Structure 1
Amino acid sequence: MSLFAPARNLAVFALCLLTALPAMGDEAIKPTDEGRQASREVIQSLEYGHYEPVTLNNGWADKVFSRMLKLLDSQHAYLTREDIAQFSDLRTGLDEMLVEGDLDRVYAFYNLYQTRLENRLEWLVDRLEKQPDFDFTGNERLPTNLEDADWAESQRELDDLWRRRLKNAALTLSLAPETSADQPVVDTSVLSEIATIPARVSEPETPAGNDDKPMDSEKIAKQLADRYKSQLSRVRQTNTEDVLSVILNAATGSIDPHSEYLSPSRGQSFDIQMKLSLEGIGALLQQDSEYVRVSSLVSGGPAERSGQIKPADRIVAVGDGDTGEMISVIGMRLDEVVEHIRGPKGSKVRLEIIPAKAIDVTQTRTIEITRDTVSLEDQAASSRVIESHRNGENHRVGVIKVPAFYVDFDAYQAGDQNYRSSTRDVAKLIEKLKTQNVEGIVLDMRGNGGGALQEANSMVGLFIDRGPTVQVRDARGRISLYGDTDRGVAYDGPLAVLVDRLSASASEIFAGAIQDYGRGLVLGNQTFGKGTVQTLSDLSHGELKLTRAKFYRISGESTQLRGVEPDISFPSLIDKEEIGESALDYALAWDTVRPVSYRMYGEPWQFVSQLRQKHEQRAQNNPNFHYLMREAQLAEQFQAQNNTVSLNREQRQREMKAQEAEQLALENQRRRALGLPEIDTWTDARDEALQTGDDGEEPESPIQQAGLEESAEILLDYALMIDSRHKPGKTTTP
Structure 2
Amino acid sequence: MFKKFYTVVVVAATLACNASPTVTTNAPQRKVGAADLTPDLQQSVVCRQVAEMVTRFNYKKVPLNDSISAIIYTNYLKRLDENHSYLLATDVADFNQYKTTLDDDIKAGNLNNAFYIFNVFQKRYTEYVNFSIAQLAKSFDFTKNETFVYDRDSLPYAADVNELHNLWAQRVKYDLLNLQLTGKSLAENKETLKKRYSNILSQSNKLNNQDVFQAFMDAFTEAIDPHTNYFTPQNAANFNIDMSRSLEGIGATLQSVNEYVTIKSIVAGGPADKSKQVNVEDRIIAVAQGKTGAFQDIVGWRIENAIALIRGAKGTTVRLQLLRTGVNGKPRTIELVREKIILKDISAQKEIRTYNNNGKQVKIGVISIPAFYLDFNDYKAGNPNYKSTTRDVKLILDTLKRENVDGIVIDLRENGGGSLMEAIELTGLFIKTGPVVQVRDARNQVEVDPDEDPAIAYAGPMAVLVDRFSASASEIFSAAIQDYGRGIILGTQTYGKGSVQNAIDLDKVINPTIKDKLASLTGKNKSVAVGSQNKFGQLNLTIAKFYRISGGATQHKGVIPDIQFPSVIPLDKYGEDTEPSAMPYDVIAKTDFTKFGNFTPVVPELKKLHDQRMSTSDSYKYLLEDIAEVKKQSAEKSITLNEVQLKKQRDADEQKALERNNLRRVALGLKPLKKGEAKPKNEDLDFLKREAGQILTDYISLDNKIMSVTQK
Q: Distance in 1 between matches of 2:199 and 2:347?
A: 44
Specify the alignment match of 2:82 in structure 1.
74
Structure 2: which amino acid aligns with 1:375? Answer: I
- 2:561 is paired with a residue whose SS is coil
Shift of 1:417: 7.2
The more displaced of 511-520 and 95-104 is 95-104
Q: Distance in 2 between matches of 1:384 and 1:570?
A: 22
Q: Distance in 2 between matches of 1:624 and 1:712?
A: 15
The yes-or-no answer on 1:710 pairing with 2:705 is no
Specify the alignment match of 2:590 in structure 1.
595
Specify the alignment match of 1:162 in structure 2.
168
Shift of 1:439: 4.6
- 1:604 is paired with a residue whose SS is coil
The yes-or-no answer on 1:656 pairing with 2:650 is yes
- 1:486 is paired with a residue whose SS is coil
Q: Distance in 1 between matches of 2:323 and 2:408?
A: 38
Shift of 1:69: 0.7
Structure 2: which amino acid aligns with 1:149? Answer: L
The yes-or-no answer on 1:110 pairing with 2:118 is yes
Structure 2: which amino acid aligns with 1:639? Answer: S
8 Å CA contact 1:301–1:378 kept in 2: the answer is no
Would the alpha carbon gap of residues 645 and 102 (structure 1) be closer, same or farther in structure 2, given more than 3 Å must change? Answer: same
Q: Equivalent of 1:321, from 258, 276, 280?
A: 280
Instruction: After TM superposition, list the pairs within 5 Å mapping 1:347-366 onto structure 2.
Output: none
> Structure 1: any 5+ residue segments left out of the alignment?
12-23, 176-208, 286-299, 303-319, 326-330, 351-371, 693-698, 730-734
Specify the alignment match of 1:204 in structure 2.
none
Q: Distance in 1 between matches of 2:386 and 2:114?
A: 53
Would the alpha carbon gap of residues 382 and 77 (structure 1) be closer, same or farther in structure 2, given more than 3 Å must change? Answer: closer
Q: Equivalent of 1:536, from 504, 508, 511?
A: 504
Instruction: After TM superposition, list the pairs within 5 Å mapping 1:59-458 onto structure 2.
Output: 59-128=67-136, 131-175=137-181, 209-210=182-183, 213-216=184-187, 219-236=188-205, 239-267=208-236, 270=239, 276-278=246-248, 321-322=280-281, 335=304, 375=342, 386-402=353-369, 405=372, 423=390, 426=393, 439-446=406-413, 448-458=415-425
- Spell out, residue by residue over 1:293-350, the C-alpha distance to the aligned partner (whole angstroms, 9 max, x if none): xxxxxxx999xxxxxxxxxxxxxxxxx934769xxxxx99783597799999xx9999
The more displaced of 405-414 and 497-506 is 405-414
Instruction: After TM superposition, list the pairs within 5 Å mapping 1:489-504 onto structure 2.
Output: 489-504=456-471
8 Å CA contact 1:25–1:236 kept in 2: the answer is no
8 Å CA contact 1:42–1:544 kept in 2: the answer is no
> Structure 2: any 5+ residue segments left out of the alignment?
12-31, 256-265, 269-278, 285-299, 313-317, 326-338, 516-534
Q: Equivalent of 2:612, from 600, 617, 621?
A: 617
Shift of 1:718: 2.3
Q: Aligned residues: percent identity? A: 35
The yes-or-no answer on 1:474 pairing with 2:468 is no
Specify the alignment match of 2:483 in structure 1.
516
Would the alpha carbon gap of residues 590 and 284 (structure 1) be closer, same or farther in structure 2, given more than 3 Å must change? Answer: farther
The yes-or-no answer on 1:555 pairing with 2:550 is yes
Shift of 1:626: 4.8
Structure 1: which amino acid aligns with 2:223? Answer: S
Q: Distance in 1 between matches of 2:178 and 2:609?
A: 48
Structure 1: which amino acid aligns with 2:231? Answer: L
Would the alpha carbon gap of residues 153 and 491 (structure 1) be closer, same or farther in structure 2, given more than 3 Å must change? Answer: same
Structure 1: which amino acid aligns with 2:600? Answer: W
Would the alpha carbon gap of residues 488 and 349 (structure 1) be closer, same or farther in structure 2, given more than 3 Å must change? Answer: farther
8 Å CA contact 1:267–1:542 kept in 2: the answer is no
Q: Distance in 2 between matches of 1:420 and 1:115?
A: 45
Shift of 1:385: 5.2
Would the alpha carbon gap of residues 273 and 425 (structure 1) be closer, same or farther in structure 2, given more than 3 Å must change? Answer: closer
Structure 2: which amino acid aligns with 1:277? Answer: L
Q: Distance in 2 between matches of 1:571 and 1:349?
A: 49
The more displaced of 32-41 and 234-243 is 234-243
Specify the alignment match of 2:334 in structure 1.
none
Q: Distance in 2 between matches of 1:238 and 1:378?
A: 30
Q: Distance in 2 between matches of 1:612 and 1:717?
A: 10
8 Å CA contact 2:283–2:323 kept in 1: the answer is no
Number of matched pairs: 605
- 1:139 is paired with a residue whose SS is coil
Q: Distance in 2 between matches of 1:654 and 1:10?
A: 54
Q: Distance in 1 between matches of 2:254 and 2:504?
A: 19
Q: Distance in 1 between matches of 2:616 and 2:438?
A: 42
Q: Equivalent of 1:459, from 412, 417, 426?
A: 426
Q: Distance in 1 between matches of 2:552 and 2:189?
A: 56
Q: Distance in 1 between matches of 2:169 and 2:379?
A: 62
- Spell out, residue by residue over 1:132-164, the C-alpha distance to the aligned partner (whole angstroms, 9 max, x if none): 111112221112221121122222221221121
- Spell out, residue by residue over 1:464-490, the C-alpha distance to the aligned partner (whole angstroms, 9 max, x if none): 332100122333333221111233645
The more displaced of 456-465 and 580-589 is 580-589
8 Å CA contact 2:353–2:693 kept in 1: the answer is yes
Q: Distance in 2 between matches of 1:232 and 1:708?
A: 43
Q: Distance in 1 between matches of 2:394 and 2:411?
A: 15
- Spell out, residue by residue over 1:32-84, the C-alpha distance to the aligned partner (whole angstroms, 9 max, x if none): 44333333222212211222221222211111111111121111122222221
The more displaced of 569-578 and 107-116 is 569-578
Structure 1: which amino acid aligns with 2:158? Answer: A
Q: Distance in 2 between matches of 1:10 and 1:637?
A: 40
The more displaced of 538-547 and 276-285 is 276-285
Shift of 1:379: 6.9
The CA RMSD measured in Å over matched residues stands at 4.5
Structure 2: which amino acid aligns with 1:536? Answer: I
8 Å CA contact 2:87–2:157 kept in 1: the answer is yes
Specify the alignment match of 1:646 in structure 2.
640
- 2:218 is paired with a residue whose SS is helix
Shift of 1:611: 1.2
Structure 2: which amino acid aligns with 1:214? Answer: S
Q: Distance in 2 between matches of 1:661 and 1:33?
A: 58
- 2:159 is paired with a residue whose SS is coil
Shift of 1:375: 3.2
Would the alpha carbon gap of residues 336 and 572 (structure 1) be closer, same or farther in structure 2, given more than 3 Å must change? Answer: farther
Shift of 1:394: 4.4
Q: Distance in 2 between matches of 1:337 and 1:584?
A: 35
Shift of 1:97: 2.2
Specify the alignment match of 2:602 in structure 1.
607
- 2:74 is paired with a residue whose SS is helix
